[in-house]
Amino acid sequence: MKRAKIYLIFILFTLLLSSCQQKAQDPYVRLVHDEAGQRVDVFVDDQYFTSYLYTDTIPNLKKTILYPVRTMQGNNLTRGFPLDAIPGERVDHPHHIGHWLNYGDVNGLDFWNNSAAIPAERVDQMGVIRHREITKSQEGQGSATLGVIADWLKSDGTVVIEENTQFIFRAMADMRVIDRVTTLTALEDTVIFKDNKEGMIAIRVTRALEHPAQKAIILSDAHGNATEVPVLDNEGITGKYVSSRGIQGMEVWGKRAEWVALTGTVKGEKIILAILDHPHNVGYPTYWHARGYGLFAANPLGQKIFSEGKEELNFTLQPSESVTFKYRILILSGEMDMMKMKKQYEQFIAQ
């Protein structure tokens, strides 16, 4: 019996030592706050990864975002427009910038479509998200955490929703992870997220990760405003969606799934970019608002259009009531592997 206890202690010590050694081998994730520039830059060792931008001096930036988001080799996953001009990129939808979370109809306010392109007569119909404060900034070996509070505002500056978000940035040799945990709290008024296709967690990806397009399409927002998405040169365009339920290509749009991955090659680097939904989220498993032209989004609150009218949510928060959304943005090296993705998803929901 005594020998068995000694052996058990030895095994536990070995596992603990192995875990500590692995953690020590992980890159150091560093946060650099530039107050004058209204941004927090994230570095993996000395390599730039992404930035939390909260500036109110850029006309198109009507929300807080992560931009750009880069791969393990330093290639951009996100489209540059409208912040940076990159030859060959699409210049549609100026409100699609980096990574963001918002919604198309909150008490009649459109937070999703807001940009500098909105005409003056529609400004009062639009919502703005403005950073208030940083609540946590903790860096370390393998991961860093950034906590922020932001206000969802009417055009007159009245706060509709308080947002409390924690970003957890994780780094390994062949992987980058952004965990986003966002709590939305209604303040004095009841808040209704009217069932709407424009939402909710999203990334606008670089041109190389789009699906090759064979014909132009015309898309319209909730207000009926049309945007033409033309056919461009498809050379080097390698994107392909695949969902946890085996649906592939542009067919993932309007379908439910626990996760969706976008595979492709960016400047010779094979990557998998995935968004993972959490079982605790409203609307789980979420509907996917993922388009071939580069919009990669999950919309748990807009169900009517995706279900062809069979479902309708109109999610509501009473005054002082909160709801929390948990998502993981996963960046992996290499070819798509369904078993590997399944394992990654199991790890996410177990944490």
Tell me the CB-side half-sphere exposure of residue 280, using CA atoms within 13 A.
13
CA distance 166 to 173: 23
Tell me the CB-side half-sphere exposure of residue 114, using CA atoms within 13 A.
29
CA distance 253 to 241: 9
Q: Does the pLDDT at position 224 exceed 70?
A: no
The one-letter amino acid code at 154 reads: K
Q: What is the pLDDT of residues 149-178, one digit of tens each?
A: 999 999 999 999 999 999 999 999 999 999
With contact defined as beta carbons under 8 Å apart, do 276 and 332 qualify? no
Q: What is the pLDDT of residues 297-322, one digit of tens each?
A: 999 999 999 999 999 999 999 999 99
Angle at 321 between CA 315 and CA 323, to 5 degrees: 55
CATH architecture of 2-350: Distorted Sandwich (2.70)
CA distance 245 to 243: 5
Q: What is the pLDDT of residues 325-346, one digit of tens each?
A: 999 999 999 999 999 999 999 9
CA distance 226 to 222: 10
* pTM confidence score: 0.90
pLDDT, residue 181, reads 98
- Sorted by where each begins, the domain ranges of the chain are 2-350
Q: What is the CA radius of gyration of the chain?
A: 21
CA distance 196 to 208: 29
**Mean pLDDT in residue range 262-269:** 98
Angle at 211 between CA 208 and CA 217, to 5 degrees: 120
Q: What is the pLDDT of residues 60-109, one digit of tens each?
A: 999 999 999 999 999 999 999 999 989 889 999 999 999 999 999 999 99
With contact defined as beta carbons under 8 Å apart, do 97 and 91 qualify? no
What's the pLDDT band for 215 if we cut at 50, 70, 90?
Answer: confident
Residue with token string 């303040």: 187
What's the pLDDT band for 24 if we cut at 50, 70, 90?
Answer: low
Task: Name the average pLDDT for the chain.
Answer: 92
CA distance 172 to 72: 9
